[in-house]
Amino acid sequence: MYKTQRMIAAGLCAGLFITITLALMMSCQVKDEKGSVNKKLKVVTALFPLYDFARNIGQDKAEVFLLLPPGLEPHSFEPKPADMIRLNQADLFIYTNPAMEPWAENVLKGIQTRSLHVLEAGRGIAMMADQDGQGRGGNKAGHGHEDGHRHDHDPGGRDPHIWLDFSNAEKMVDHILAGFIEKDPLNRDYYQRNADAYKQRLTDLDRQFRKGLSGCRKRVLVHGGHFAFGYLAERYGLKYVALSGFSPDAEPTPANLVRISKILKANDLHYLFYEELLLPRTAEMVAKETGASLLLLHGAHNISKEDFDRGVGFITLMQTNLEHLKRGLQCP
């Protein structure tokens, strides 16, 4: 009888164990299924414009991370081991093009996961040449820079700041949208609506620039920094003169300093533009020599930690640019 009781007890214990195990498995399965439904797409972006485009497309269905630390000048960026870990855990990595982020190719060689989708947002967008004022098929605005310096990132001497032509920005949004849909097709309609709404904002922004810069007394944009605003100048019919070439590390020659000063005086320009996150020492020197005042023109490569924490977006930066351009070029 004792043996029978032991067998019954063992059977009850085994049954209880199986029941608990099945319950735990079902609980985990429900959790996993719920997690798969609510799982956010993990997106890593190289530069701020890409970050802002992606977060507007993904909104509450994506976790978008900016690889470039806020406040850091992008041309000197070097990914750290923590960045590699984040990339290996991501679903989607977005960069502009090999000319803008030359480090991307080497970084991607260290990716261990096959599930990461790598997206070149600038794919298929023609880049502007850097010499003789020649843009895509020739630039009627006649912009150029003075030292013939080629971009450190691209031996072909092409300008990678493509997002400063807002029609290019719309194409970049389309490419990013395609990446979102490929990784998360169930939310295709959600991403599509968000992308369409953001592209409409870019179209409206372009309209604001065309109207705001149409009646300016001055048509020469003089920039005391590296060649970054050629696309913007070409789109709105401005002549663009930069102090140095594509690389922000390029040292302007004395001849360039003299030439920039002469252009300011000859065109009776009262403002010299400088760019974000770089100390405008050379621009300050030219401004002091010519009596010009300095105005910020934001290239949106990256933003300060304060602006990042406040949630400042690409379109807001460009609207501020428009106000500064209208002041500097004496627009109505």
240: β partners = 221
Average pLDDT, integer, range 208-222: 97
Residue found by looking up tokens 């093009």 in the block: 97
The arrangement of secondary structure in 216-328, i.e. its CATH architecture, is 3-Layer(aba) Sandwich (3.40)
Tens digit of each residue's pLDDT (9 = 90 or more) over 254-278: 888 899 999 999 999 999 999 998 7
SS3 303: coil
Please check the confidence at residue 95 and state whether its pLDDT lies above 80: yes
Three-class HEC string of 85-141: HHHHHCCEEEECCCCCCCCHHHHHHCCCCCCCEEEECCCCCCCEECCCCCCCCCCCC
Tens digit of each residue's pLDDT (9 = 90 or more) over 10-34: 444 444 443 433 333 333 333 333 3
Q: Which comes out higher in pLDDT, residue 240 or 32?
A: 240
Per-residue b or e along 93-119, where b marks 16 or more CB atoms closer than 10 Å to that residue's CB: bbbbbebbbeebeebeeeeeeeebeeb
Maximum average pLDDT range among 5-19, 72-86, 110-124: 110-124
Which token pair is 140? 């009627």
Task: Give residue 46's pLDDT.
Answer: 97
Per-residue b or e along 75-90, where b marks 16 or more CB atoms closer than 10 Å to that residue's CB: bebebeeebeebbeeb
Q: Which comes out higher in pLDDT, residue 192 or 129?
A: 192
Task: Give residue 87's pLDDT.
Answer: 95
| Chain CA centroid to CA 172, Å | 10
d(CA 135, CA 129): 5
The residues, ordered by sequence, that sit 6+ positions from 224 with a Cβ below 8 Å of its Cβ are 243, 260, 272, 273, 274, 280, 282, 283, 286, 287, 294
Helices (H), the chain: 2-38, 48-58, 81-89, 104-109, 166-183, 188-212, 230-235, 254-266, 281-290, 305-310, 314-328
Closest among 46, 322, 161, 49 to 331, alpha carbons compared: 322
Please check the confidence at residue 129 and state whether its pLDDT lies above 60: yes
Average pLDDT, integer, range 137-148: 38
- Please list the residue range(s) of the chain that carry CATH number 3.40.50.1980: 39-142+156-207, 216-328
Please check the confidence at residue 40 and state whether its pLDDT lies above 70: yes
Task: Give residue 248's pLDDT.
Answer: 56
Per the CB < 8 A criterion, the answer to whether 129 and 144 are in contact is no
Tell me if the pTM is above 0.75.
Answer: yes
Please, what sign has the CA dihedral across residues 231, 157, 154, 74? negative
Lowest mean pLDDT among 35-44, 133-142, 170-179, 216-225: 133-142
Average pLDDT, integer, range 127-150: 45
Task: Give residue 199's pLDDT.
Answer: 98
Average pLDDT, integer, range 148-156: 38
Tens digit of each residue's pLDDT (9 = 90 or more) over 107-121: 888 888 889 999 999
Which token pair is 11? 């059977």
Mean pLDDT of the chain: 83
39-142+156-207: CATH number: 3.40.50.1980
Per the CB < 8 A criterion, the answer to whether 88 and 113 are in contact is yes
Task: Give residue 15's pLDDT.
Answer: 45
Task: Give residue 19's pLDDT.
Answer: 40
* R_g (Cα) of the chain, nearest Å: 27
Task: Give residue 37's pLDDT.
Answer: 52
> What residue type is 55 in one-letter code?
R
Task: Give residue 220's pLDDT.
Answer: 97
Average pLDDT, integer, range 290-296: 95
SS3 319: helix
